[in-house]
Amino acid sequence: MWLTDIPANLLSLGAIDFGIIVDGTIVMMETILKKREDNPDLPLDKANIAKRVTEVAKPIFFATLIIIIAYMPLFAFERVEQKLFTPMAFTLSFALLGALASALILIPGLAFAVYRKPQKVYHNRWLERLTEIYKRHTAKLVAVPKKIFAPITIVLATVIGLSISVGKDFMPQLDEGSIWLQVQLPPGMSLEKSSEMATVLRDKIKDFDEVTYAMTQTGRDDEGICPFSFSHIEVMVGLKPYNTWKNGRRKSDLIADMEAMIDTMSGYNAGFSQPIIDMVMDQIAGAHSDLAIKIFGEDITESRRIAEQIAEVLKDVEGATDVGIMEEPFLPQLQIVADRDKIAQYGLNVADVAELIEVAIGGMAVSQVFIDSRVYDVICRYKEESRDTPEKIGNLMLTSGSGIKIPLSQVAEIRMTAGASMISREMNQRFVTVRVNPRGRDLTSFVKDAQEKIEQQVNYDHSKFRFHWVGQLENQHRAFSRLAVIMPITLAVMFLLLFFTFGKFRQAGLLIGMLPLAVFGGMLALVIRGMTFNISSAVGFIALFGVFLQNGVIMISHINILRKRGTELKEAVISGSSHRLRPVLMTATVAILGLLPASLSHGIGSDVQRPLATVIVYGLLFGTVLTLYVLPTLYYMLEKRNLKKETLNENVA
């Protein structure tokens, strides 16, 4: 971390499971301890121990390497997800490399030094009875292995159903411990009136017991990046620590109460967000909301109509909140349209009309004043009482070349109209933005429902106008698209590593083929706990695959070792799986206990880690059952069929 300049914080260390890191150490220690338990009265032979250590070193090395490779998709992330998960991937990879060196170099020497002399070894009676029970169950399954197909089929079908039905998001909702409001006031608001309404809003918000302060800022920021007028207010709301809130109230309850309060206040239209995510979404999508629809088209009036219709449709979609249009409504405008024919009749030109309008209404610099080193323009403009109505503007006089005074209304049409106060552009195209924050629903299902209703209820010319979803949905599509490319590559690399470990394609294929079953526990936990499948939970599944394959490698490698020693297939499966019961249970238990607090935590900053930890914890609970029962049974069926083929080929030859 020091060499790569990765700081130690919640992102780099928060989701690291130290149980996963010590898995290789547990297997190495278990190997030497088992030798001592089998021969309590004899000194350990150095050569024999070296042979045992060498046998397990290869599967430990490749199993650890597989876990590191499992995190390869995290290095392919970009933007927000890269900032959140790449530090964890680097840190865990470094830790696993250090743990591998410890398991292969340090632990064998320390364990041999401790156990080399004859000594009484503590026996866990409960674990020994559990091992005998497990051995009997394995023998029954191996005797009738086809019975395993029915449960596997049910689990696989359930996994498919859960994968379809589970909600899908880009990221879990991150609690920043504060609230950020985007408040829209009536258009054309003066600074004085806007400040007055901001004060009223602050006082109302500070009446809530959970609020520590409320700070407002009116109009655009100092940099002038956001094209806001005085009709726009941004409110920063500080909150007290959650453990001091009364009656078990949550942040969502406070937001609902604030929303209800603002709805009763005339002239206020508020959208709720959080400071950091609001800034991020503004930079990424150009919208101060989780989701936004940009309607592109050259006719700004028709684009506005379409946007208003879409906003009305979105209000009827379940989970839609803070629906509104980002651009301010049309405002009254004074239009002066010059009549070139009449101008020519009076011996004038358009420049004369433009100069009159500039001087009378806009003001023109006619001189300069020097005060010390500063220069100030002297502006000439007609008095306000001479230009405050269209009629008075029409009475402004032009002077022709012959000295005749001509009213402006004689050579131009002066009228009041309504026009856009702000025109947004992207890639040289005009657009109007409709904002919306989905609340209480996953992103994918919300967008699906919204799109269906928009297509059914909003009428527009598809050849001239189009709309595009931006915000979290855009991030979700980008991140999941990258995962769809990198995950097959990762699985292919894992398959090659498994082949190098076992030397047989069929055994490597067996473990890779069981990965869809390993998804069951994590996916079921997401559905039961009301979570969604997002980048955080996807990272959890990636880690789960690595740990599941590691335990599978430990199991199959030991069975292969027993077969190389001459043990018959059935006995090797039963004995080998029972020998590996303790290390598999230990590795799974320490991994589960290591992430259990993260899966249950609800404090500030835990939102990113909770889905990840939930998937690993509950996925390992079911994955351990697969490793202990399904894997040996399928291995036996696969190898028995291969033995029959080899015997048949020998007889034919």
Supply the pLDDT for residue 179. 86
Contact 300, 329 (CB under 8 A): no
Q: Say if residue 653's pLDDT is above 60.
A: no
Residue 142 has pLDDT above 60, yes or no: yes
Taking Cα atoms as reference points, which of 550, 494, 548, 497 lies closest to residue 521?
548
pLDDT range class, residue 8, cuts 50, 70, 90: low
Residue pair 223/279 in contact by the 8 Å Cβ criterion: no
Residue 273 predicted with pLDDT over 70: yes
> What type of residue sits at position 457?
Q
Q: What is the maximum span of the chain, computed from C-alpha positions, in angstroms?
A: 129
Kindly indicate the confidence band of residue 283, based on its pLDDT and cuts at 50, 70 and 90: low
* 320: exposed, middle or buried (Cβ count in 10 Å: 0-12, 13-18, 19+): buried
SS (H, E, C) 260-326: HHHHCCCCCEEEEECHHHHHHHHHHHCCCCCEEEEEECCCHHHHHHHHHHHHHHHHCCCCEEEEEEC
Of the ranges 39-53, 130-144, 268-282, 605-619, the best mean pLDDT one: 130-144
Mean pLDDT of all residues in 631-648: 83
Which pLDDT belongs to residue 485?
Answer: 84
**Residues whose CB is less than 8 angstroms from the CB of residue 261 and which lie 6 or more positions away in sequence, other chains included:** 204
Per-residue tokens: 217: 């800022």
Lowest mean pLDDT among 136-145, 454-463, 593-602, 631-640: 593-602
Find the DSSP H helices in 361-471. Answer: 390-394, 443-457
Q: What whole-number percentage of the chain has pLDDT above 90?
A: 0
What does the mean pLDDT of the chain come to?
Answer: 80
Q: Which of 421, 412, 162, 180 is nearest to 280 (CA)?
A: 180
pLDDT at 312 over 80: yes
Q: Where are the beta strands (DSSP E) in 401-540?
A: 405-407, 412-419, 424-426, 429-438, 466-471
Task: Give the number of other CB atoms < 10 A from CB of residue 161.
Answer: 12
pLDDT value of residue 416: 81
DSSP-assigned states of every residue in 121-180: ----HHHHHHHHHHHHHHHHHHHSGGGGHHHHHHHHHHHHHHHHHS-B-SSPPPP-SEEE
When pLDDT is cut at 50, 70 and 90, the band that residue 12 belongs to is: low
Q: What average pLDDT score do residues 593-618 get?
A: 76
Q: What percent of the chain has pLDDT over 70?
A: 89
Distance CA 316, CA 312 (A): 7
Which pLDDT does position 377 carry in this prediction? 87
Pick 172 or 143 by higher pLDDT. Answer: 143
pLDDT at 457 over 80: yes
Q: What is the DSSP letter of 533?
A: B
543-to-217, 514, 517 alpha-carbon distances in Å: 44, 15, 15
pLDDT category, 594, cuts 50, 70, 90? Answer: confident
Read off the pLDDT band of 225 (50, 70, 90).
low
Sequence-distant contacts of 124-128: CB under 8 A, at least 24 apart: 127/582
The owner of tokens 């292995």 is 145
* pLDDT > 70? residue 287: no
Per-residue confidence (pLDDT) for residue 604, from 0 to 100: 63
- Report d(CA 245, CA 243) in Å as an integer: 6
pLDDT at 4: 66
Selection from 561, 562, 582 nearest residue 624 by Cα? 582
Of residues 145 and 285, more confidence is placed in 145
| Mean pLDDT along residues 290-310 | 85
- CA dist., res. 225 & res. 282, Å (int): 11
Answer yes or no: is pLDDT of 17 > 60. Answer: no
Quick one: the chain helix, strand, coil %, rounded to 5? Answer: 60, 15, 25
Q: What is the mean pLDDT of residues 90-119?
A: 77
The pLDDT of residue 224 is above 60: no
- Is pLDDT above 80 for 652? no
Question: Three-state DSSP class for 418?
Answer: strand
The reported pLDDT for the residue numbered 286 is 63
Can you tell me the distance from the alpha carbon of 20 to that of 588, in angstroms, rounded to the nearest whole number? 8
Residue 223 has pLDDT above 60, yes or no: no
In the predicted structure, residue 454 carries a pLDDT above the cut 80: yes
Whether the per-residue pLDDT at 272 is higher than 70: the answer is: yes
Q: Is the pLDDT of residue 603 over 70?
A: no
The DSSP letter of residue 534 is -
Res 357 pLDDT > 70: yes
Can you give the pLDDT at residue 123? 65
pLDDT (mean) for 250-261: 85
Task: Name which of 156-160, 209-213, 535-539 the model is least confident about.
Answer: 535-539
Distances (CA, A) of 464 to 57, 292, 296: 66, 20, 8
Give 413-433 pLDDT, tens digit per residue. Answer: 888 877 777 777 777 888 888
The pLDDT confidence band at residue 490, using thresholds 50, 70 and 90, is confident
The DSSP code sequence of 10-62 is HHHHTT--HHHHTHHHHHHHHHHHHHHHH-TTSPPPHHHHHHHHHHHHHHHHH
Lowest mean pLDDT among 388-402, 536-550, 599-613: 599-613
Confidence of residue 338 (pLDDT cuts 50, 70, 90): confident
Q: How far apart are CA 594 and CA 137, in angstroms?
A: 29
HSE-up (13 A, CA, CB side) for residue 117: 3
CB 387 within 8 A of CB 396: yes
* Per-residue pLDDT at 171: 74
Residues ≥6 apart with Cβ < 8 Å to 68: 93, 96, 97, 546
Calculate mean pLDDT across residues 473-479: 78
pLDDT digits (tens, 9 = 90+) for 105-131: 887 777 777 777 766 666 667 777 888
Residue 606's pLDDT is 65
266 band by pLDDT with thresholds 50, 70 and 90 = confident
Is 484 a residue whose pLDDT tops 60? yes
Q: Are strands 405-407 and 397-399 parallel, antiparallel or unpaired?
A: antiparallel
